[in-house]
A = this chain, B = another copy of it.
Amino acid sequence: MKPPTELAEAFRARGLKVTPQRQLLFGLLDGNTSHPTAEGLFVEASAQMPGISLRTVYTTLTDLAEMGELQPVSCGAGAIRFDPNVDDHHHGVCDSCGNVTDAYVVGAESLIVEGLDGFTTNSASIVFRGQCAPCASSTDESTSNPIPNSQQQTPNTP
């Protein structure tokens, strides 16, 4: 994703207005590696701009995604996440805390795929599921768990 200043220009160039709501979201997304959901961004935005509506957050995120500045990421369950990292990359999802981590896969293009004869592939996305490092250590060790697995952001309850 471009930095906020350039996003403002890109919006104006498209005939879209640069509103305080949008600028706030530009800032919240800039350099954000947490793969936030619309709801999550709404909560953060509301802290700085009480009264902002969830609808506006969705609209802005959709605009950014259409401009290619944001990559929507479906992790298999729960809300869609929005990723300012538009590199060609994939994701690891922790089944305990729900955190999503960037994963760069080398050689994905040279995979041998059987069964898709005649299929024209436009994109491939890989989701790794498992346990992130903090969750693995906090459950492996029999010591008291400082993070009870249901208080972190977007916990999974399958």
Name A's B-contacting residues (CB within 8 A): 74, 76-77, 89-90, 92, 94-95, 101-108, 111-133, 136
Contacts and interface: CB of A to CB of B under 8 A. Distances in A.
A90 B18 CA distance: 42
Q: How many copies does the complex hold?
A: 2
Nearest to A124: B128
Given A104-B113, A111-B108, A116-B101, A130 B126 contact: no
12 contacts: A89-B115, A101-B119, A104-B115, A105-B113, A107-B112, A118-B133, A119-B130, A119-B131, A120-B136, A121-B128, A122-B131, A124-B128
Given A101-B115, A111-B108, A126 B126 contact: yes
Given A76-B74, A113-B128, A128-B124, A133 B105 contact: no
Contact of A128 (B74, B77, B118, B123): B123
Interface centre among A104, A105, A120, A129 (most CB of B within 10 A): A120
Nearest to A112: B106
A116 to B, nearest CB: 5
